[in-house]
Structure 1
Amino acid sequence: MKKKEPDRILIVDDDPHMRSALSLSLKKTGKEGDIFASAEDALNSLSKNLILGETALESEIYPSPYFLILSDLNMPGMDGISFLKEIKKYPVFQSVPFVIITAYGTIESAVSAMKTGASDYMLKPFDISDFERIVKNAEKISYSDIFKRTSKDNADAVNFKDINSSNFIYRSAAMKRIDEYIKAVAAADATVLITGESGTGKEVAAKRIHELSGRKGRFVAVNCSAIVPTLLESELFGHEKGAFTGAVSLKKGKFEQADGGTIFLDEIAEMDKNLQAKILRALQEKTIDRVGGDEPVSVNARVVAATNKDIEKAVSEGNFRDDLFYRLNVIRLHMPPLRDRKEDIIALAEYFTSVYSKKYFRDVSGISEDARKYLLSLDFQGNIRELENIIERAVILAQKDKFLDVRHFGNFEPAFYDGFNSNGRNAGGKSDEDKNIADNTDISGTGDAITNVTDNNESDSFNGSVSSHEVVENRTAGDILSGYAGRSLNIKEMEEKLILTALKETGGNKTKAAEKLGITSRTLRNKMKELGIN
């Protein structure tokens, strides 16, 4: 008998006003769901109804009736993040989209939640279009999961590309030379030593070498600094059954797993010197010794090592074996920092935008000119990893926007997020005069509504005076921000420059300036007062 696909929404919120608003949203969208006042109540109910299957088999017997889970972030007792972690322990809910409901002041927590398993977030007070977008995205995710499960061999199946796969993206001449060098040496079996700052793409380069090498085995990566020395030997070389307490069966190590392929030893300069000697033997003899083993095991794994340290200095100071260094340093590759190859920034940013738009079901199709100028003004001390984090966060914040803009990159204060979106309308897609679901619905039974008051009594014109500042010339926000090349702008500098530019370009008209910035007039006035712009 064909199993019924999930068609309900699970909602958890401690605020009775929000529960009523969410109930109304269910009715307006024609959806059915179950609403709970606490995470504990939801989990207890699910347990009583045998929905919480603790094994994969149980999840098949008792499939989830829910295609979406909505939970408030800040709740007494178990909060939204704890609820997310708890419910994702059960196989039946591991593929169900989990959306955090949050206020502006906790948006950073919502972004963090998405990076740790949540599918999206919804700002409150919310609009029906926000709710519909969340539901639509959840249905996409649910459909993708069903399609992948039922069409595993279908060439047209939805493909979520692994962002860690080798995508050697560049536009700079420096990286072109490196790529040509990799192509020249990839087919050889010689060891490779890759150096460079953290986040410059050393593992991506190692994967590129493996993919072009023609080796049929796996690419296996090991971060030598992330595993304690007492466990690293077993991780690399494996162990025999009974070798130590807890070794209940034979385990193949990373070298054996990479047999016929490539093993990537990241941060090798952090490795204990005793273990360095065993790595040297593996390179020389093409054999390894499992922990607790009596016989050597032959392995054919090409070794690519990497470090962000000055390895020659480590050798001279006696912290790294010179004989191992010479064995590794047959082919040397240095990855330059991103600040020295700025031509690659936009290409990488566009790639990450595409990746995370798919991951978070956003409709972001590009990066605005102002945003490009801003990205090019940064020095990226964290290199590509920092750029990737910036883009991931920006895509999460973009929600309905088609393009990433400067405002998506800053850690603005809550008020400055008020209504942000590219067409100058609020987060719900309505103008200042429009009402939110939670704004215009009397849901308490006492006449108390959740309101978002806008004060329109203040003068709308800008008098042209700026405390302690000169009015800037008529340039775009990107032009202003690019003047800070070589360092990241702090939040107040970014806000100030964006506001002054918008005011100048609109002749001091606050309403038009607010529209240009994509915020409400009230938010603009509050921000001008805070920054001393009169």
Structure 2
Amino acid sequence: MVDKIPASTAMSVLVVDDESGMRSFLKKALSKRFALVEVAGSVEEAEQLRSRCHFDLLIVDISLPGRDGIEWHEALDMDTRRSDVIFMTGFADMETAIRALRAGAVDFILKPFRLEQMMQAVDRCIERRLLRRENLLLRREVAHTHPNTIIGNSAAMAEVKSVIGRVAATNAVVLIEGESGTGKELVARSLHQMSGRSGSFVAVNCGAIAPELLESELFGHVAGAFTGARGAREGLFSFASGGTIFLDEIGEMPLQMQTALLRVLEQRTIRPVGSEKESPVDVRVVAATNRELQLEVEEGRFRRDLYYRLNVLNIRIPSLKERPEDVVDLVHFFTRQLATELGLREVAWSHEDLQVMQRYDWPGNIRELRNLVERCLLLGKPPAEYWRSQETPVAEAPAGAGYPDDMELKEVERLHVLQVVAAQEGNKSAAARVLGVSRKTLDRKFKEWGQEGGC
């Protein structure tokens, strides 16, 4: 039945038909399935509508006043012809059907038709479009995980790539260290991609999972292990079997879980919560932190034995400030990537824009650079112009500006976090994204400092 057709709330459709009754009929029916439904009674009206927004699906009557629907669709630019099209007609013959198919029609419906016929055709279009989107996402994921996406030819990044190449094929634990936003997960993915391991790459943010749930998430649980555990559930270590598990923000892991992780690393077995049995597991562990784990050990917040077990092979990713020569390559890469993702025209930044970006310190590292490029593309403003339009242009910070040399690291961290939160107008969630930490971590920091504020 028609009601079984899945809703497509993220898609848009344009109906072009000179019969007002048909336009009203289809708009009412399609509004239950699409986020946006527009109707037009002529090619001219349709042109005006499509100049204002993109349509995933066009439902077009062939017999339109002045210009038939097939001729109009054939004349559309290639960007618009990426829309799927269903043609309708009350006067069909073989020649017309062939013309419609050659024009790129995905379906051809004779009038009069039942609503179910139309919805079945629409459903096929939705499935085709969702499949294309899924394939595009998969291609992007493959491109994202490919080691060649580690951008940068500086001496510092050449060393990182060299280390990845030397250690990828081993099964040894790797600890990746670096500031937030430097690309630690990308390095972990590259290690997995080059390792030859056949299993999955599973990423876990240890700071984003409630401590009381972390053990169950990692190792799974049996039915009845705790309140609400109605059935058994496999953990992420099991899902990563034969592959790699990436434990991001390992410094956020509670001490109790650190003990459990140490046992897994030493015995290569896992025990689901509530179970008496241990199961062998073949998983390569890659951990990452933006903290000084050695300092965490000295202050009793991280197990010394786990630190030494994780720190078998160490990869330190330099901050973007340490490799300004890579900024231009990163800008070009993100400009191409984001222009494609956003459906925008790729732009060529001026020499002034590139110079301004090279002079900036990038406290948010690569994540901040990517966000700036995306913002400038969306706003249509070059970076130099965008920064000039801000009240406090970060690109023009005075030379030598920073924190006093005798200031403790904790205080530097506190001041920097407060500065980022203020820059995000008190929005802690946005600030957490810029800083590369979880909102939960940010709330904990504010609690430690005895400060409130933000939202």
TM range (shorter): 0.5 to 0.7
* Match for residue 269 of structure 2 among 274, 279, 287: 287
Residue 394 (structure 1) aligns with:
376
The 1-side partners of 2:55 and 2:356 are apart by 30
Q: Across the two proteins, how many residue pairs are aligned to each other?
A: 316
Alignment of 1:43-442 (within 5 A): 51-52=31-32, 63-64=33-34, 66=36, 132-136=50-54, 143=82, 149-150=127-128, 158=136, 161-162=140-141, 165-166=145-146, 167-398=149-380, 404-409=382-387, 412=390
The 1-side partners of 2:82 and 2:209 are apart by 38
- How far the C-alpha of 1:249 sits from its partner, in A, is 2.2
Identity %: 38
- Contact 1:165-1:204 within 8 A present in 2 as well: yes
Q: TM-score, normalised by structure 2?
A: 0.61
Residue 7 (structure 1) aligns with:
13
- How far the C-alpha of 1:6 sits from its partner, in A, is 5.9
What SS does the corresponding residue of 1:314 show, helix, strand or coil? helix
Determine which structure has the larger helix proportion and give its number: 2
What SS does the corresponding residue of 1:161 show, helix, strand or coil? helix
CA-to-aligned-CA distance 1:239-288 (integer Å, 9 cap, x gap): 11222222222211111111101111111111111110100011011111
Residue 499 (structure 1) aligns with:
none
Q: TM-score, normalised by structure 1?
A: 0.52
The 2-side partners of 1:172 and 1:322 are apart by 34
- Contact 1:378-1:487 within 8 A present in 2 as well: no
- How far the C-alpha of 1:148 sits from its partner, in A, is 9.2
Q: Which runs of 5+ in 1 are unaligned?
A: 10-25, 35-45, 53-62, 70-127, 414-480, 489-534
- Contact 1:266-1:306 within 8 A present in 2 as well: yes
Residue 440 (structure 1) aligns with:
none
- Contact 2:55-2:83 within 8 A present in 1 as well: no
Change (3 A) 1:397 1:284: same
The 2-side partners of 1:405 and 1:336 are apart by 24
The 2-side partners of 1:294 and 1:249 are apart by 16
The 1-side partners of 2:389 and 2:273 are apart by 49
- Contact 1:379-1:487 within 8 A present in 2 as well: no
- How far the C-alpha of 1:405 sits from its partner, in A, is 4.9
CA-to-aligned-CA distance 1:215-251 (integer Å, 9 cap, x gap): 1111111111111110111111111122222222221
CA-to-aligned-CA distance 1:353-409 (integer Å, 9 cap, x gap): 1222122211023322221111112100111111111111111112xx8xx452245
* C-alpha RMSD of matched pairs (Å): 4.0
Change (3 A) 1:204 1:183: same
The 1-side partners of 2:136 and 2:30 are apart by 31
The 2-side partners of 1:142 and 1:258 are apart by 42
What SS does the corresponding residue of 1:367 show, helix, strand or coil? coil
What SS does the corresponding residue of 2:34 show, helix, strand or coil? coil
